[in-house]
Amino acid sequence: MPSSSVTDSTPVHDAGMISLTAIAALGNPRAIPKSKTIVLDAQIYIGSSACESLLGALRYFNARDLHFSESAGLYLINTTIFRMEITADIVPTTLPADDYSFIGDINWVVPLNAPQDFYNANKTGNTFSIDPCQRALVHVSGIATNCQKDQGSFDVDLEHYVSALKDTKHVKAFAPLTCVILDSPRYKNGKPVPYNRRYISACGFLTDIIFKPSSDVIVDRFQITVDDITFMGQPPQINNSIHANTLDAPAKTPRNTRNLISYGHQSHTTNAPPITPVTPMPTQTTAKRPLADAPIAGPVATGTGSRACRCGFAGDPWVQKPVRV
């Protein structure tokens, strides 16, 4: 595997891609005027000795008109994540901008439980049927710098568009990542540290936060523990050659294979009463059968039994700053 100990201490902000998938607490929605976009406070679990969790502000284009409560609920989300910029438009309500550590745009959101009053719950600890203390999984593609073979680490410093900064000139969203490869028996020939200034695609868990030297609340870098990495070579040279268009090829017939479940329109009506077949009489040929009532899915149970997870973030998550231990 290619590796190098070449060091580049000067941060280079290159174009790249980053996404984070996590169980997050979302609440305190704020509407953007004349838009379906809303801003949500989001808390994600870090679980390190320096920082238990982070509070951020994420935008979501609410095309499905999902209801978000003032009280926080647990959601499975996929989002971009960038370091907080003081010029970001996060539409704060009661919290100042410096209480937020990251910004981003939510790509996908799935409700996991009914909203709860976190302020009151934190007095005795939160009770969930789903454990919120799960580290976020990060996927990143970009140019590796500051590659340290002996330490098994490298940096990815990338820029990307984020809607919270769209009205701010000369300020771009910045995601500074320190990527660490832990010791493992599977690396018999050395850790897969990339060459300096080579494209990589990697995924791993967000395991720690590096704060600015003069502060214990302002994030300087995100740290991820790399579980998988792909080397993608040198940055491509400019190429003006014309490639054939294959997007307009005829659509293929879907495969007819054996599946575990069915995604047909009846898959969610397993509790509906069976419909008795009716043979129309001659006098009924012009009559219309009423549609059978389908059950309406209710809210997901939060669970308070013995199997419920009791795991609360320290303090009020909507007021708490990152805590250094």
- According to DSSP, residue 205 is labeled E
Average pLDDT of 176-187?
94
Q: Does 26 score more than 70 pLDDT? A: yes
Looking at per-residue confidence, does 167 or 69 come out higher?
A: 69
Whole-structure pTM over 0.85, yes or no?
Answer: no
Q: Does 294 score more than 60 pLDDT? A: no
Average pLDDT of 176-200?
94
pLDDT of residue 147: 97
pLDDT of residue 309: 43
Least confident of 3-17, 55-69, 238-252: 3-17
pLDDT of residue 265: 56
Average pLDDT of 106-118?
80
- Evaluate whether 144 touches 197 at the Cβ level (below 8 Å): yes
pLDDT band at 302 (very low <50, low <70, confident <90, very high): very low
pLDDT of residue 70: 87
Query: What is the rounded CA–CA span in Å between residue 153 and residue 303?
Result: 41
Contacts of 61 (CB under 8 A, 6+ apart): 36, 37, 105
Cβ density class 4-23: b for 16+ within 10 Å, e for less: beeeeeeeeebebebbbbbb
Average pLDDT of 245-273?
64
